Structure 1
Amino acid sequence: MNTAKILVTGLPRTGTTSVCIAALHLGVKTAHTAYTREALGQAQLLADTPVFCDYKNLVSLYPSSKLLHLSRPFELWLPSIKRLMTAMQNNLLSQRGGFNDTIKRCYLSVFPEFDKHFDSDNFWFDCYQRHQQQVYQFAQQHQLPLLDVTIDQADIGSQLAAYIGNGKAGTVAVPHVNIGGKVTAWKWISHPLKVESTRAGKADKDTLLYSEPFANT
């Protein structure tokens, strides 16, 4: 089990897939979404679901973790998250089937009752700001390393290489993927350091995956 984790706390549509691809090229075992204990244990860098919701619990389980926060200008993030949530809405809200328990819990925790406030830009702004502030406060409170970057900044490749590159100097290319409404780039990535999110397509039960020793801190 890898106990020193890099937890990507950026919300969906902030560049999590791009960072995960860069991490693979830096020699880092990476999971973009993790729905089993094996995936959580094997990966050094974890992003997207459940990390953006459960980073506090993951730090409790892996206290040597450091945080990598992805920001994005709100005016660019807003139409992107709305497209994603439009596509996901039926499966998120389904009482029978739809997404696995972890996906539903994470999205509905960070975007509570989003279907009732979908057309309110203020709702999405509040969700974005609240999440960012909570990450900052948690890192400060627990004295955790925190790197905050945007996917478009000029020096992101060198910053990522220094922060997650396992001692590698220099820079790494950070591809721009999942542009527009596309969200499946990670699915088509083939790399020996890629950690599968599920076990033969199956996720652990959420009640098992997130019971103790995950702590609500």
Structure 2
Amino acid sequence: MSLQHSHPEFVDKLIIIGLPRTGTTSVSVALLEQGLKVAHMAFTKAAFMQADAISDAPCFSDFKQLDGLFPEAKFVYLDRELDSWVPSMQMLLSRMLPHLDAQTGRFHPIMKRSFRHSFGVGLIENPQDEQHLIDCYQRHKTEVLDYFAGRHDFLSIDVSRQGALGQLLTFMGLASAANQQNFPKLNVGRNVASWDEYKHPNKISANASGPEKRKFFDYKI
């Protein structure tokens, strides 16, 4: 599946499978700046097909199914120290939980499904519990690393580390851009809207429409 229309050197779809609050916005913005078409979340088949890179929901919950759908794709896991990730995730959930309610929440059903699958939202009494979130993080990380063990189409990075962007660009084959070493620090603290506020012509809507309107893939997780 060639993506030469957007970046002449990059020919593979990139699927970013780090959990929320691991740097998905920083990675997405950095890839926009490299000329790629990026969807930060994708809730339609068309969004996946139009984007060169896709992050966040449902990628972090559906990586095995997406690997089957896009056998030429490359996958990037985003790691983060738990002592900073847990409070950041608790803050995010404090804002999101009312909108993730299965019946009354305003968020997209696919986002609700991803959060139910990965964090037990709607299934347990307190998804913001510290130990619960640690368990969710470690379970996801173990599943990802076990699934992609020994594969050359997989990279794990921590976006806060020196040289992480250079690592990613080298992995993608964008060697000419690899002198740009570090990611921008976005979506930090209590800021959860940076992607929406960031204006760029290469942004792909999570609800992009295509030949099948706003249909999603029919796989199950």
Provide the TM-score with structure 2 as the length reference: 0.85
1:131 to 140, 163, 166: 140
Seen in structure 2, the aligned counterparts of structure 1 residues 97 and 88 have a Cα distance that, compared at 3 Å, is closer
> Any unmatched runs of 5+ in structure 2?
4-11
* Partner residue of 1:33 out of 14, 35, 41: 41
Amino acid at match of 1:38: A
Residue aligning to 1:22: 30
- Name the residue aligned to 1:43: 51
Q: Report the secondary structure of 2:176's partner residue.
A: coil
Equivalent pair of 2:91/2:190 in contact (CA under 8 Å)? yes
Query: Quick check: 2:98–2:105 contact (8 Å CA) kept in 1?
Result: no
Contact 1:65 1:144 in 2 (8 A): no
Aligned-partner residue type, residue 177 of structure 1: L
Distance 2:127 2:14 in 1: 32
After TM superposition, the structure 1 stretch with the greater mean CA deviation from structure 2, 191-200 or 61-70, is 191-200
CA distance in 1, matches of 2:25, 2:173: 17
Amino acid paired to 2:46: E
Q: Aligned pair in 2 of structure 1 residues 159, 125: CA closer, same or farther (>3 Å)?
A: same
Superposed counterparts of 1:45-124, under 5 Å:
45-113=53-121, 116-118=125-127, 120-124=129-133
1:44 shift after superposition? 1.3
Q: Which moved more, 1:69-78 or 1:158-167?
A: 158-167
Cα deviation 1:132-183 (Å, max 9, x = unaligned): 0111111127x35221111110111211221235443433352111111111
Give distance in 2, aligned partners of 1:61 and 1:54. Answer: 11
Q: Which residue of 2 aligns with 1:194?
A: 203
CA RMSD of aligned residues (A): 2.2
Q: Is the 8 A contact 2:79 2:156 kept in 1?
A: yes
* Alignment match, 1:177: 186
Instruction: Report the secondary structure of 1:51's partner residue.
Output: coil
The 10-residue stretch of structure 1 (24-33 or 191-200) with the greater mean CA deviation from structure 2:
191-200
Aligned-partner Cα distance in 1 for 2:85–2:117: 19
Q: Which amino acid aligns with 2:126?
A: H
Structure with greater helix percent = 1
Structure 1: 4+ residue segments shifted above 6 A: none
TM-score (norm 1): 0.87
For residue 119 of structure 1, report the CA deviation from its aligned partner.
Answer: 5.4
1:197-216 matches, cutoff 5 A: 197-199=206-208, 208-211=215-218, 214=219
Contact 2:119 2:127 in 1 (8 A): no
Give the conservation status (yes or no) of the 8 Å contact 2:120–2:127: no
Q: Indicate conservation of the 8 Å contact 1:29/1:194, yes or no.
A: yes
Contact 2:102 / 2:112 at 8 angstroms: preserved in 1? no
